[in-house]
Amino acid sequence: MGRYVLRRLLQMIPVFIGTTFLIFVMVHALGDPVNALFGDRAPDPAVAAQIRAQYNLNDPLWLQYVKYMGKLFQWDFGTTFSGQTVTSQLAAAYPVTLKLTAVAFTIEVVFGIGLGLLSGLRRGRIADNSVLILTLVVISIPTFVTGYVLQYLVGVKWGILPATVGFDVTFQSLLLPGIVLASVSLAYVARLTRTTVAENTKADYVRTAVAKGLPRHRVVINHLLRNSLIPVVTFLGTDLGALMGGALVTERIFNIHGVGYTLYQGIVRQSTNTVVGFVTILVIIFLLANLLVDLLYAVLDPRIRYA
């Protein structure tokens, strides 16, 4: 177990260097960011030269990357063109996104698995069919449509929940974006759970458990559900990363200053430091989430062992 984790952690190093370098190259492919700072005015050559020197823009790309990584290992992520340190951007954006992810992830897990279990146990009945129809509808509507419609109805027209999140991030204000963000994944989780639960109800060990005379809730929760969750956990693990980095659409609709939005701003303003800094942290989260998923397999299924 310990050796397995260590090996996995060591594997992360080349992945980490590779991804950061790729992102670095991609942001640079967008061209020289200095001209855009001057708007519709041609930059003063003296000032533009000074700015290029400050951000090492005159060096060859590989040297810029080496300089950047050198600073990164001293926990210096650099600054944006507005003079804000990327570390302070990270400190502002990640907690917000973590809260949003926590809300969305909870909704996704509770309702996704709950609905999936319900329809899996009652295959072919009304409950099953309505869950299938509901999830089909949710999957087929793009997030921004659900986002704007719910925002207008719940936030503006009925005034039940705040329409946007903004500066003071409260649980109430995160509820609406959480639902929107969770909706599509929730549908996938429900369908995945339903299929595996439906398959496993016919399995020998479930029949044995029923024959032993175990109470129904113990059969369902300890025997049936636990074994059915392995593919669901795999999906949830990768989805956790996607929720953190890919919440851009939801974040823009609900005015959430989280990771997705800050990353988007970084790309628009061609602030390499912001983009690479945020992606670096995202890559680490992705890698750790995947490791966690692999370790969870062993917890769910005692037959899986890591040497």
Partner 1 sequence: MPSATRVRWAVIAVTSAALVATGCSSSSSSGSGSSGGGTVRAWWGDPQNPLEPANTNEVNGGAVMNMIFAGLIQYDPKTSAASNANADSITSSDQQNWTVTLKPGWKFSDGTPVTASSYVNAWNYGALSTNKQVNASFFQYIQGYNDVAPASGSPTAQTMSGLKVVNDNTFTVALTQKFTTWPQTLGYNAYYPLPASFFSNHAAYLNKPVGDGPYMIQSYTRSQQMQLVPNPDYSGSNKPKNGGINLVVYTDPNAAYSDLQSGALDVDNTLSNTAIKTLAGGPSGGRFLNTPAGIIQTISFPLYQPQWSTANAKLVRQGISMAIDRDTIVKNIFTNTRTSATDWTSPVLGANGFKAGLCGDLCTYNPTMAKQLIQQGGGIPGGQLTISYNADGPHKDWVDATCNSINTVLGNNNACVGNPIGTFADFRNQITSQKMTGPFRTGWQMDYPLIQDFMQPVYTTGGSSNDSHYNNPQFDSQVNTANAAPDAATSVTDFQTAEKMLVTDVPAIPLWYQNGTVAWSSHVSNVMLDPFSVPVYTEITVS
Smaller CB distance to partner 1: residue 134 or 169?
A: 169
**What minimum distance in Å lies between the beta carbon of 267 and partner 1?**
9
**What minimum distance in Å lies between the beta carbon of 162 and partner 1?**
5
- Which letter does DSSP use for residue 162 in this model? -
Smaller CB distance to partner 1: residue 129 or 170?
A: 170
Smaller CB distance to partner 1: residue 119 or 270?
A: 270
**What minimum distance in Å lies between the beta carbon of 43 and partner 1?**
7
CA–CA separation, 285 vs 66, rounded Å? 23
Q: How far apart are the first and last CA of the chain?
A: 5
Smaller CB distance to partner 1: residue 64 or 227?
A: 64
Positive or negative: CA dihedral 100, 105, 110, 113: positive
- 3-state secondary structure at position 287: helix
**What minimum distance in Å lies between the beta carbon of 143 and partner 1?**
14
Smaller CB distance to partner 1: residue 181 or 224?
A: 181
At 237, phi and psi to the nearest 5? Answer: -60, -50
At 239, phi and psi to the nearest 5? Answer: -70, -30
**What minimum distance in Å lies between the beta carbon of 164 and partner 1?**
5
160: nearest Cα among 152, 170, 149, 148: 152
Binding residues for partner 1, rule: CB under 8 A, are 30-33, 35-47, 49-51, 54, 81-84, 88-89, 91-92, 95-96, 99, 148, 151-152, 155-159, 161-164, 166-173, 251-257, 261-262, 265, 268-270
CA–CA separation, 170 vs 106, rounded Å? 16
**What minimum distance in Å lies between the beta carbon of 250 and partner 1?**
10
- Two tokens at 176? 């609406």
Q: Are 278 and 262 in contact (CB under 8 A)?
A: yes
Distance of CA 238 to the CA centre of its chain: 8
Smaller CB distance to partner 1: residue 52 or 122?
A: 52
**What minimum distance in Å lies between the beta carbon of 264 and partner 1?**
8
- 3-state secondary structure at position 305: coil
**What minimum distance in Å lies between the beta carbon of 98 and partner 1?**
10
**What minimum distance in Å lies between the beta carbon of 260 and partner 1?**
9
Smaller CB distance to partner 1: residue 112 or 177?
A: 177
Smaller CB distance to partner 1: residue 53 or 66?
A: 53
Q: At what angle do helices 272-300 and 2-29 cross, to 10 degrees?
A: 150
- Two tokens at 90? 């990270």
Smaller CB distance to partner 1: residue 115 or 174?
A: 174
CA–CA separation, 180 vs 260, rounded Å? 15
Secondary structure in 3-state letters for 90-125: HHHHHHHHHHHHHHHHHHHHHHHHHHHHHHHHCCCC
